[in-house]
A = this chain, B = another copy of it.
Amino acid sequence: MLIRPPQQATLADLATHKLAQSIVTGELAQGQKLNEAELAERFGMGRGPLREALRQLEGLRLVKRIPNVGVRVVVLDRKTLSDLYAVREALEGMACRIAASQMSDDEIAQLAALLDKHEAQIAQQGGKLYAQSEGDLDFHYQIARGSRNQMLMDLLGSEQYQLLRMCRYRTSRNAQRTKPALSQHRQIVEALANRDGELAELLMRRHIQGAWRSISEMIDQEEREAA
């Protein structure tokens, strides 16, 4: 449970969290219709809190809702993901540039340590692509934190982060990109350590572009398989 472990929470908050988890992990398929009564029963609560949860998920863009008809899990098609990566490039690029001047030496050191841990995980490679993927997101989130921009953290952390995780689960098979990604991460950390914001931004943008190319090819492949 990487995100928001709700300590003191209402039932609606619980439901929001569980549903988000289920959607991100693919337990609830893309485009699937969500039945209020059924979900309420499954979670052991009334329909009231559940409806509130659905409203919140709508705000997080994890579901789409049509009045008097119902809500469905969003569908991550090619265009949506393309848009997402374009926005990420701008946002995370900015985060990197600012983080280069704002992060403490200690924070940057921690970032480097995170990559070491990350590398060790790859070495083991015990099918733990999941953990690897979450680790990567951690890296990106730490940089967002380094920008000291709460709005940026919210954007990257809540909405985009979730969609991205969703995408990862879908395409978690491609392990071949983990090594170049790690190398790029290291370059970014080095730029941060040198307080070179411009370079850090450039490297991050390239990194995300590379990730998009990789994802894009995978989608092409899927589409070809489907045809």
Contact = CB atoms under 8 A, between A and B. Distances in A.
A122 interface: no
Interface in A39-79: 48, 51-53, 55-56, 58-61, 67-68, 79
A45 to B, nearest CB: 14
Nearest to A51: B52
A94 B90 contact: yes
Contacts of A157: none
A174 interface: no
A87 B152 CA distance: 7
A154 B86 CA distance: 14
Contacts of A94: 86-87, 89-90
Nearest to A97: B90
Contacts of A154: 61
A56 B58 CA distance: 8
Contact of A90 (B58, B59, B83, B90): B90
A61 to B, nearest CB: 7
B59 A55 contact: yes
A77 to B, nearest CB: 11
Contacts of A83: 149-152
Interface stretch (A6-14, A129-137, A206-214): A6-14
6 contacts: A52-B52, A53-B55, A61-B154, A83-B151, A86-B98, A87-B149
Interface of A: 8-10, 12-13, 48, 51-53, 55-56, 58-61, 67-68, 79-80, 83-84, 86-87, 89-91, 93-94, 98, 149-152, 154-155
